[in-house]
Structure 1
Amino acid sequence: MTIDLILLCVFAFLAGFTDAIAGGGGLIQTPAALVLLPQYPLATVLGTLKIPSFSGTSIATAQYVRRVPVNWLLIGLMAVTAFCAAFAGSTLLTHVNNSFMKPLLLFMLILVAIYTFTNKKFGDHLEKDHSVKQQILYSLLISLIIGFYDGFIGPGAGSFLILSFIGLLGFDFLKASAHAKFVNLATNLGSITFFMLSGKIIFAIALPMAACNALGGWVGARLAILKGNAFIRIFFLIVVCATIIRFAYDVWFK
């Protein structure tokens, strides 16, 4: 095992740990892979990273589902929609540069960070008076928009999912994290399907990283369940701020 692969596995563990708690694992894993694998095309690197992302999210999801009640009907509808949207986003990624969206995302994330920091009750359970039809509509919009985003851009998708579950559906941080993992599984699977059909996954790199990401996901999910909403809220803020820094660098220094 080369030193580069060892480093990638370390970053994969950290990404799985972070993603299991508050999303945003791609902020750790993706830049590391782009630096350590410069000899490969961008699409190949991103396609390869979807395997460890899926692995870590799977383990985290299994931990959550044992301890957090899940709305299976809602998740089923969202997963199918998110899969198709992510497949479409990954397809578009191979034809269009995605950098034009980053200034807008940077602005949105700054607003999210300010609102989450100033509103101390954000992420507590707040029951929304939605009809079943409204709940399904919001859920489909969340999975469609963020599913496409995950396939097309990627970093921060898990955090956006958590934010959407809290803001639109009234979930608390723990319940939002649990449901976000199911949708994230579907988006990863949609992208994996596209990249596998395109032959853009390097399994010799993806599989060792997947094992480490899965271990990180297991540790992160157990810690989130143990510590609860307050801990996840703090971690969420840290991840959002890290995303802001990442996008600010892309916008102003690249």
Structure 2
Amino acid sequence: MFELALDVVFLLILAAFAAGFIDAIAGGGGLITVPVLMLAGLPPAQALATNKVQGVFGAATAAISYAASGHVDLRRQLGAASVSFLAGLIGAFCVTLIPTEALRYLLPLLLIGIAAFFALKPGLGDADRTARISPLQFTAFVVPLIGFYDGLLGPGTGSFFMLGFVMLAGYGILRATAHTKLLNFASNLGGLVAFALVGKPLWITGLAMGVAQIAGAWVGSVLAMRVGARLIKPLLVVTSTALALKLLLDLV
């Protein structure tokens, strides 16, 4: 039934649960699932494609969970989500066309900067602040840029959306987390559509991991809503730093 041995699939399911939990709170679940998929023997393109299959379930679950608790109105986000989907789709199709080597060197620095921002900037909590740009400007300029990046490379997408919502839209930590999930789901879905055509994902294994993602994302989102910034901020700092370190090690 499964494309891989059952013991390997079981480990992948455990990794997907952990990734769904982390992603629902702070993003960075791909830091867990992509390396594990590659350790299972999948080539990079197939690992990324399978990761998109399971990742959309976790992001969708977190988005629905936050919406059901009143932290985000998904209907008001549909326009931005559509932009994110198209940007992710285009980014994934451009994987073989755009040189990304320079970006791979820049990414760790950006992620360390994000970690430092959330760790050191005073006054960051769950309360909203004054927005620097309008929702329309955010959708027109910030969303397509991050969505395109998610399709092209992907690591740290949730952190970049979080930073945009906090710094530019003026959202508090919990509200920014809630609004990140639908946009991350949409860019993931766009990337999945493209990768499904060229990357040949392992559908059955990916769907099994997706079920675990649902469970992990539900637990993570419930915990984040109960604790708020006191949990989200440190976990965001840890995941951004860990992802930066992994990317630096990959360059060595």
Compute the TM-score of the two structures, normalised by the length of structure 2: 0.91
Structure 1 residues 41, 190: CA separation in 2 closer, same or farther (over 3 Å shift)?
A: same
Which 4+ runs in 1 deviate beyond 3 A? 71-74, 94-97
Once the two structures are TM-superposed, the CA of residue 74 in structure 1 deviates from its matched residue by 5.1
Residue in structure 1 matched with residue 54 of structure 2 by the alignment: 52
Shift of 1:162: 1.0
- 2:227 paired with 1:214: no
Name the CA distance, whole Å, in 1 between partners of 2:199 and 2:123: 46
Tell me if structure 2 keeps the 8 A contact 1:13–1:215.
yes
CA spacing shift, 1:129–1:203, aligned 2, 3 Å: closer
Q: Distance in 1 between matches of 2:131 and 2:25?
A: 27
Pick one of 65, 72, 81 that aligns with 1:79.
Answer: 81
Q: Distance in 1 between matches of 2:206 and 2:74?
A: 30
Residue segments in structure 1 that go unaligned for 5+ positions in a row: none
**Total equivalences in the alignment:** 248
| Superposition deviation, residue 75 in structure 1 | 1.5
Q: What's the TM-score once normalised by structure 1's chain length?
A: 0.91
Given that residues 67 and 74 in structure 2 are in contact (C-alpha distance below 8 angstroms), is that contact kept between their aligned partners in structure 1?
Answer: no
Q: Distance in 1 between matches of 2:156 and 2:104?
A: 12
Assess if the C-alpha contact under 8 Å between 2:126 and 2:228 holds in 1.
no
Partner residue, 1:33: 37
Partners of 1:74 and 1:139 within 8 A in 2 = no
Residues 52, 214 of structure 1: 8 Å contact kept: no
> How far did residue 228 of structure 1 move?
1.2
Write the deviation string for residues 165-214 of structure 1: whole angstroms up to 9, x where unpaired.
01110101111111100101110110111122336221121111111111
Q: Residue in 1 aligned with 2:90?
A: 88
Q: Report the AA paired with residue 140 of structure 1.
A: A
Q: 1:46 to 1:87 in 2, by over 3 A?
A: same
Deviation by residue 1:141-160 (Cα, 9 ceiling, x = unmatched): 22111101111111111111
Residue segments in structure 2 that go unaligned for 5+ positions in a row: none
Q: Deviations over 1:56-105 (max 9, x none)?
A: 11111111001134255652221111111111111111344533212211
CA RMSD of aligned residues (A): 1.8
| Match of residue 17 from structure 1 | 21
Q: Does the C-alpha gap of structure 1 residues 56 and 73 become closer, same or farther in structure 2, counting only changes over 3 Å? A: closer
SS at match of 2:168: helix
- 1:1-254 residue pairs with structure 2 within 5 A? 2-37=6-41, 40-72=42-74, 75-96=77-98, 98-129=100-131, 134-198=134-198, 200-251=200-251, 253=252
